[in-house]
Chain A
Amino acid sequence: GAVVSQHPSRVICKSGTSVKIECRSLDFQATTMFWYRQFPKQSLMLMATSNEGSKATYEQGVEKDKFLINHASLTLSTLTVTSAHPEDSSFYICSAAQGTSSNQPQHFGDGTRLSIL
């Protein structure tokens, strides 16, 4: 149980392109979804927290207009990297929390490797 699917797994595109990444909870309802960015050989950096039906909460230093997050349903959140540039190349991972208790672990997708040429 608690499976999170992330799509696509890999994206290669030209500078200036906008890229959309989907995160789905397959067998549970995710009240909250999280988006992380992972730089090579580093830990995960939380970018934003999204709650279904409301605006995402962004971490300090993360550009809201650059990284658009939509959480339209309890099973789907999307991250759109707008006008992507080479410095946006990274590994992006989403996670979803089941329920609203503070002790619920986050369940992670397999990540998306984004490469901007």
Chain B
Amino acid sequence: AQSVTQPDIHITVSEGASLELRCNYSYGATPYLFWYVQSPGQGLQLLLKYFSGDTLVQGIKGFEAEFKRSQSSFNLRKPSVHWSDAAEYFCAVGGYQKVTFGTGTKLQVIP
């Protein structure tokens, strides 16, 4: 069975500081991995995705994620956080028919 773990429920960072959100997955084959962002009361927006190839994936809004098979991880990073990045972030594993989401990490950005 596939599963996703986001160990951090809530993270607070200062504006301009770097950010790393953790994601660990369990999947029986080569995983398809995604990061989504959700602003309050809204749907989810795809930040980036990994299917194969280069393990460092670039996404929108300056985000990137690195796939590490040996660690079963797909952590999301951003070098300098902006106040508008405050939101909830979901890591997901799977594909077309069955996507499993993590429980999310809520990001708070302080000035």
Which residues of A are in contact with B by a Cβ distance under 8 Å? 4, 6, 32, 34, 42-44, 46, 49, 91, 93, 95, 97, 100-111, 113
Contact = CB atoms under 8 A, between A and B. Distances in A.
A111 B32 contact: no
Interface in B65-91: 90
25 contacts: A4-B43, A32-B96, A34-B99, A42-B104, A43-B103, A43-B104, A44-B44, A46-B99, A91-B41, A93-B43, A95-B44, A100-B96, A101-B96, A102-B32, A102-B95, A102-B97, A103-B32, A103-B95, A104-B95, A105-B46, A106-B99, A108-B36, A108-B45, A108-B46, A111-B42
B101 interface: yes
Contacts of B99: 34, 46, 106
Given A101-B96, A102-B95, A109-B43, A43 B101 contact: yes
Contacts of A102: 32, 95-97
A20 B49 CA distance: 32
B43 A6 contact: yes
Contact of B96 (A6, A93, A97): A97
Given A32-B96, A43-B103, 8 more contacts: A32-B97, A103-B51, A104-B96, A105-B34, A108-B46, A110-B42, A110-B43, A111-B42
B38 to A, nearest CB: 9
B41 A111 contact: yes
A93 B101 CA distance: 13
B49 A44 contact: no
B95 A43 contact: no
In this complex, the interface size class of chain B, counting residues with CB under 8 Å from chain A, is 20 to 34
Label chain B's interface by main secondary structure. loop
Contacts of B98: 46
Contacts of A113: 41
B43 A49 contact: no
A104 B45 CA distance: 14
A46 B46 CA distance: 17
Nearest to A45: B101
Closest 10 CB pairs of A and B: A108-B44, A108-B43, A110-B43, A102-B95, A102-B96, A103-B51, A111-B43, A43-B103, A43-B101, A44-B101
